Amino acid sequence: MNVLAGLRHLIETAGEQRRSRIALVVLAGLVLAALSLVIGLVWGLWDAARGVNAQCEYVLTGPSAGTGVCRFSDGANYQMHFGG
């Protein structure tokens, strides 16, 4: 069962109060993922003005957790972990 199917099953079988908590956790995960993407983009644009570029990859490991890494052309690496 993939993550989305598991989440859907959990939501369908949960009570109303639990559904609200699940929705909040999922929303928090999405906000954190979006925030990490924005940070990566801003960092990349700032370095691009100096002639440095970045390649970033992010993976959600759960509804409110994930990890990512940005590799910069000057050799620097930036790692991020959130949630969990």
What's the whole-model pTM score? Answer: 0.38
Q: What is the pLDDT of residue 84?
A: 65
pLDDT at 7 over 70: no
pLDDT in tens, 25-39: 777 777 777 877 788
Query: Whole-angstrom Cα distance, residue 1 to residue 11?
Result: 15
| 21 SS3 class | helix
Which contacts of 37-40 are long-range, i.e. CB under 8 A and separated by 24 or more positions?
39/80, 40/68, 40/70, 40/78
pLDDT in tens, 47-71: 666 677 778 888 888 777 888 888 8
Q: What is the pLDDT of residue 28?
A: 77
The residue among 13 and 61 whose pLDDT is bigger is 61
